[in-house]
Amino acid sequence: MVATPDSSPAQLDYGLDTLVGRISKSAECLIGLEQVENDPFCFAIRVLAPLPEDLEQAKTLVVRIEGRRLQGTVRHSERLEDDSLRLEVEPD
């Protein structure tokens, strides 16, 4: 997967696990796609601020960007110094 230019608008649908079950949410965000180093099967997205406040707890993710649809399970999230959020995703 090739990284997108700096950032592009995308639709994010994500799932949160709660005490009452899974909750689905959606948000429009600016993101960049990245490859995960040493793992050709996974991908990462870098979501630029402003972020949905609960995106960091996402367990599942569907990304619609530039006519593509990517989905999978979030295996790692990391808040970066510039207030963006990097999510590593293992495709379904």
CA distance 69 to 62: 7
Q: What does the pLDDT look like over 18-31, one tens digit per residue?
A: 999 999 999 999 99
Q: Give me the pLDDT at residue 4, please.
A: 45
- pLDDT computed for residue 6 by the predictor: 72
CA 21 vs CA 7, 17, 18, 90: distances in Å: 32, 6, 5, 21
pLDDT at 57 over 80: yes
Listed by start position, the domains of the chain span 8-91
Q: What is the mean pLDDT of the chain?
A: 92
Task: Say if residues 36 and 88 touch (Cβ distance below 8 Å).
Answer: yes
Q: How far is CA 57 from CA 6, 60, 71, in A?
A: 24, 9, 16
Q: For the residues 30-50, what does the mean pLDDT come to? A: 93
pLDDT at position 5 is 47
CATH number at 8-91: 2.40.10
